[in-house]
Protein backbone atom coordinates (compact mmCIF):
# COMPACT_ATOMS: atom_id res chain seq x y z
CA UNK A 1 0.00 0.00 0.00
CA UNK A 2 2.95 2.31 0.57
CA UNK A 3 4.17 1.88 -2.98
CA UNK A 4 1.40 2.16 -5.53
CA UNK A 5 3.79 1.04 -8.27
CA UNK A 6 4.28 -2.35 -6.66
CA UNK A 7 0.91 -3.42 -5.30
CA UNK A 8 1.65 -7.08 -5.88
CA UNK A 9 3.89 -7.51 -2.88
CA UNK A 10 1.99 -5.24 -0.59
CA UNK A 11 0.40 -8.19 1.16
CA UNK A 12 3.57 -10.14 1.82
CA UNK A 13 2.54 -10.86 5.37
CA UNK A 14 -0.89 -12.02 4.39
CA UNK A 15 0.62 -14.19 1.68
CA UNK A 16 2.83 -15.97 4.19
CA UNK A 17 -0.08 -16.53 6.51
CA UNK A 18 -2.20 -17.89 3.67
CA UNK A 19 0.60 -20.18 2.53
CA UNK A 20 0.87 -21.62 6.03
CA UNK A 21 -2.89 -22.02 6.23
CA UNK A 22 -3.16 -23.90 2.95
CA UNK A 23 -0.13 -26.10 3.52
CA UNK A 24 -1.36 -27.03 6.98
CA UNK A 25 -4.87 -27.82 5.78
CA UNK A 26 -3.51 -29.97 3.00
CA UNK A 27 -1.09 -31.94 5.17
CA UNK A 28 -3.59 -32.37 8.00
CA UNK A 29 -6.25 -33.61 5.58
CA UNK A 30 -3.89 -36.10 3.94
CA UNK A 31 -1.91 -37.44 6.88
CA UNK A 32 -3.88 -36.75 10.03
CA UNK A 33 -3.52 -34.11 12.68
CA UNK A 34 -1.04 -35.77 15.00
CA UNK A 35 1.13 -37.05 12.16
CA UNK A 36 1.98 -33.59 10.82
CA UNK A 37 4.56 -31.43 12.59
CA UNK A 38 5.07 -27.70 12.46
CA UNK A 39 8.27 -28.45 10.61
CA UNK A 40 6.36 -30.33 7.92
CA UNK A 41 3.97 -27.43 7.49
CA UNK A 42 6.57 -24.70 7.22
CA UNK A 43 8.67 -26.81 4.85
CA UNK A 44 5.64 -27.42 2.61
CA UNK A 45 4.74 -23.73 2.65
CA UNK A 46 8.30 -22.65 1.99
CA UNK A 47 8.45 -20.37 5.01
CA UNK A 48 10.52 -20.37 8.16
CA UNK A 49 9.79 -22.50 11.18
CA UNK A 50 8.67 -19.65 13.41
CA UNK A 51 5.87 -18.55 11.08
CA UNK A 52 3.24 -20.80 12.59
CA UNK A 53 3.72 -19.44 16.09
CA UNK A 54 4.02 -15.88 14.87
CA UNK A 55 0.89 -15.84 12.75
CA UNK A 56 -1.33 -18.27 14.63
CA UNK A 57 0.07 -18.56 18.15
CA UNK A 58 0.50 -22.32 18.23
CA UNK A 59 -0.02 -25.45 16.22
CA UNK A 60 -3.34 -26.16 17.91
CA UNK A 61 -4.53 -22.62 17.33
CA UNK A 62 -3.72 -22.98 13.63
CA UNK A 63 -5.62 -26.24 13.54
CA UNK A 64 -8.61 -24.66 15.21
CA UNK A 65 -8.63 -21.66 12.87
CA UNK A 66 -8.70 -23.92 9.81
CA UNK A 67 -11.46 -25.93 11.42
CA UNK A 68 -13.56 -22.90 12.27
CA UNK A 69 -13.28 -21.28 8.87
CA UNK A 70 -14.06 -24.42 6.88
CA UNK A 71 -16.97 -25.56 9.01
CA UNK A 72 -18.43 -22.05 8.87
CA UNK A 73 -18.20 -22.07 5.08
CA UNK A 74 -19.81 -25.48 4.85
CA UNK A 75 -22.61 -24.62 7.26
CA UNK A 76 -23.30 -21.39 5.41
CA UNK A 77 -23.68 -23.21 2.11
CA UNK A 78 -25.95 -25.79 3.68
CA UNK A 79 -28.07 -23.07 5.26
CA UNK A 80 -28.27 -21.28 1.93
CA UNK A 81 -29.57 -24.38 0.17
CA UNK A 82 -32.04 -25.07 2.95
CA UNK A 83 -33.25 -21.50 2.68
CA UNK A 84 -33.76 -21.89 -1.06
CA UNK A 85 -35.70 -25.10 -0.50
CA UNK A 86 -37.87 -23.23 1.97
CA UNK A 87 -38.55 -20.50 -0.60
CA UNK A 88 -39.50 -23.04 -3.22
CA UNK A 89 -42.05 -24.74 -0.98
CA UNK A 90 -43.59 -21.96 1.09
CA UNK A 91 -41.50 -22.80 4.15
CA UNK A 92 -42.28 -26.52 4.14
CA UNK A 93 -39.90 -28.38 1.84
CA UNK A 94 -40.15 -32.16 1.41
CA UNK A 95 -37.67 -34.52 3.04
CA UNK A 96 -35.67 -35.07 -0.14
CA UNK A 97 -34.87 -31.38 -0.62
CA UNK A 98 -33.90 -30.95 3.02
CA UNK A 99 -31.53 -33.87 2.73
CA UNK A 100 -30.15 -32.49 -0.51
CA UNK A 101 -29.19 -29.29 1.31
CA UNK A 102 -27.43 -31.47 3.87
CA UNK A 103 -25.66 -33.80 1.44
CA UNK A 104 -24.83 -31.72 -1.62
CA UNK A 105 -22.36 -29.15 -0.24
CA UNK A 106 -19.85 -31.60 1.27
CA UNK A 107 -20.30 -33.99 -1.64
CA UNK A 108 -19.78 -31.43 -4.38
CA UNK A 109 -16.92 -29.73 -2.56
CA UNK A 110 -15.34 -33.12 -2.10
CA UNK A 111 -15.56 -34.16 -5.74
CA UNK A 112 -12.32 -35.05 -7.44
CA UNK A 113 -12.16 -31.89 -9.53
CA UNK A 114 -13.08 -29.48 -6.76
CA UNK A 115 -10.54 -27.12 -5.25
CA UNK A 116 -12.31 -27.65 -1.93
CA UNK A 117 -11.71 -31.41 -1.94
CA UNK A 118 -8.96 -31.04 0.63
CA UNK A 119 -11.14 -28.88 2.87
CA UNK A 120 -13.87 -31.49 3.01
CA UNK A 121 -11.44 -34.21 3.99
CA UNK A 122 -10.09 -31.90 6.66
CA UNK A 123 -13.57 -31.36 8.08
CA UNK A 124 -14.38 -35.06 8.07
CA UNK A 125 -11.10 -35.82 9.79
CA UNK A 126 -11.66 -33.17 12.44
CA UNK A 127 -14.78 -35.04 13.52
CA UNK A 128 -12.81 -38.04 14.70
CA UNK A 129 -9.29 -36.73 15.27
CA UNK A 130 -9.95 -33.21 16.47
CA UNK A 131 -8.68 -31.68 19.67
CA UNK A 132 -10.80 -31.38 22.76
CA UNK A 133 -11.51 -27.78 21.82
CA UNK A 134 -12.80 -28.78 18.40
CA UNK A 135 -14.93 -31.61 19.73
CA UNK A 136 -16.43 -29.28 22.26
CA UNK A 137 -17.27 -26.81 19.51
CA UNK A 138 -18.88 -29.57 17.47
CA UNK A 139 -20.93 -30.85 20.38
CA UNK A 140 -22.13 -27.51 21.65
CA UNK A 141 -22.78 -25.82 18.31
CA UNK A 142 -25.81 -27.72 17.17
CA UNK A 143 -27.69 -24.62 16.05
CA UNK A 144 -26.78 -25.38 12.47
CA UNK A 145 -28.08 -28.94 12.66
CA UNK A 146 -31.14 -27.84 14.61
CA UNK A 147 -32.50 -26.07 11.54
CA UNK A 148 -32.33 -29.29 9.58
CA UNK A 149 -33.91 -31.24 12.39
CA UNK A 150 -36.75 -28.72 12.63
CA UNK A 151 -37.31 -28.81 8.88
CA UNK A 152 -37.45 -32.61 8.92
CA UNK A 153 -39.87 -32.61 11.85
CA UNK A 154 -42.10 -30.18 9.95
CA UNK A 155 -41.91 -32.37 6.85
CA UNK A 156 -42.85 -35.48 8.81
CA UNK A 157 -45.10 -34.34 11.68
CA UNK A 158 -46.53 -37.84 11.87
CA UNK A 159 -43.23 -39.31 13.08
CA UNK A 160 -42.12 -39.18 16.73
CA UNK A 161 -39.47 -36.48 17.04
CA UNK A 162 -37.11 -39.02 18.52
CA UNK A 163 -37.34 -41.02 15.31
CA UNK A 164 -36.49 -38.00 13.20
CA UNK A 165 -33.38 -37.26 15.26
CA UNK A 166 -32.12 -40.80 14.94
CA UNK A 167 -32.67 -40.81 11.20
CA UNK A 168 -30.82 -37.53 10.89
CA UNK A 169 -28.01 -39.22 12.79
CA UNK A 170 -28.00 -42.05 10.24
CA UNK A 171 -27.85 -39.56 7.36
CA UNK A 172 -24.89 -37.80 8.93
CA UNK A 173 -23.17 -41.15 9.20
CA UNK A 174 -23.62 -41.62 5.47
CA UNK A 175 -21.98 -38.25 4.84
CA UNK A 176 -19.09 -38.75 7.23
CA UNK A 177 -18.20 -42.08 5.70
CA UNK A 178 -17.22 -40.41 2.44
CA UNK A 179 -13.51 -40.53 3.12
CA UNK A 180 -10.69 -41.36 0.73
CA UNK A 181 -9.91 -44.64 2.47
CA UNK A 182 -13.53 -45.77 2.45
CA UNK A 183 -13.97 -44.99 -1.23
CA UNK A 184 -10.82 -46.98 -1.94
CA UNK A 185 -12.06 -49.90 0.08
CA UNK A 186 -15.39 -49.89 -1.71
CA UNK A 187 -13.58 -49.72 -5.03
CA UNK A 188 -11.64 -52.86 -4.15
CA UNK A 189 -14.72 -54.64 -2.83
CA UNK A 190 -16.76 -53.93 -5.94
CA UNK A 191 -13.85 -54.82 -8.25
CA UNK A 192 -13.81 -51.32 -9.69
CA UNK A 193 -17.55 -51.09 -10.23
CA UNK A 194 -18.08 -48.01 -8.03
CA UNK A 195 -16.83 -44.74 -9.44
CA UNK A 196 -16.14 -42.06 -6.90
CA UNK A 197 -15.80 -39.45 -9.64
CA UNK A 198 -19.53 -39.44 -10.45
CA UNK A 199 -20.50 -36.92 -7.81
CA UNK A 200 -24.01 -36.18 -8.97
CA UNK A 201 -24.70 -39.88 -9.38
CA UNK A 202 -23.55 -40.54 -5.84
CA UNK A 203 -25.68 -37.66 -4.55
CA UNK A 204 -28.72 -39.17 -6.22
CA UNK A 205 -27.92 -42.60 -4.75
CA UNK A 206 -27.58 -41.11 -1.27
CA UNK A 207 -30.84 -39.21 -1.62
CA UNK A 208 -32.70 -42.28 -2.90
CA UNK A 209 -31.45 -44.34 0.02
CA UNK A 210 -32.00 -41.75 2.74
CA UNK A 211 -35.35 -40.55 1.44
CA UNK A 212 -36.66 -44.11 1.42
CA UNK A 213 -35.30 -44.61 4.92
CA UNK A 214 -37.11 -41.50 6.09
CA UNK A 215 -40.41 -42.46 4.55
CA UNK A 216 -40.38 -45.87 6.21
Partner DNA sequence: GTCTATAGATGGATAGAC
Partner DNA sequence: GTCTATCCATCTATAGAC
Residue 19 site contact among a copy of itself, DNA, none (CB < 5 to 8 Å, cut-off depends on kind): none
Contact between 47 and a copy of itself per CB under 8 A = no
State the nearest-atom distance from the C-beta of 206 to a copy of itself, in Å. 7
Residues 120-159 as x/- pattern, contact with a copy of itself by CB under 8 A: -----x-xxx-----x--xxx-x--xx--x----------
Residue choice 24, 27, 29, 52 for contact with DNA (CB under 7 A): 52
Residue 2 site contact among DNA, a copy of itself, none (CB < 5 to 8 Å, cut-off depends on kind): none
Positions 6 through 25 that interact with DNA (CB under 7 A): 12-13, 16
Could you write out the three-class secondary structure of 88-110?
HCCCCCCHHHHHHHHHHHHHHHC
Contact between 163 and a copy of itself per CB under 8 A = yes
Size of the site for DNA (CB under 7 A): 20
Q: Decide: 20 and 56 in contact? Cβ < 8 Å.
A: yes
Q: Residue 95: which of 164, 162, 169, 174 has the closest Cα? A: 164
Positions 73 through 112 that interact with a copy of itself (CB under 8 A): none
Q: How far apart are CA 178 and CA 31, in angstroms?
A: 16
Q: How far apart are CA 124 and CA 176, in angstroms?
A: 6
Contact between 29 and DNA per CB under 7 A = no
Amino acid sequence: MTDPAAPIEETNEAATKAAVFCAAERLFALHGFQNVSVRDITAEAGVNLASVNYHFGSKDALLFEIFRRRTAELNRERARMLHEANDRHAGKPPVREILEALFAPPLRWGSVNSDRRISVQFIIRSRSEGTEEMREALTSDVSHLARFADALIAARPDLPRETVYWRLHFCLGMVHNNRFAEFDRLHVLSAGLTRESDTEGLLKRMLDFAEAGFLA
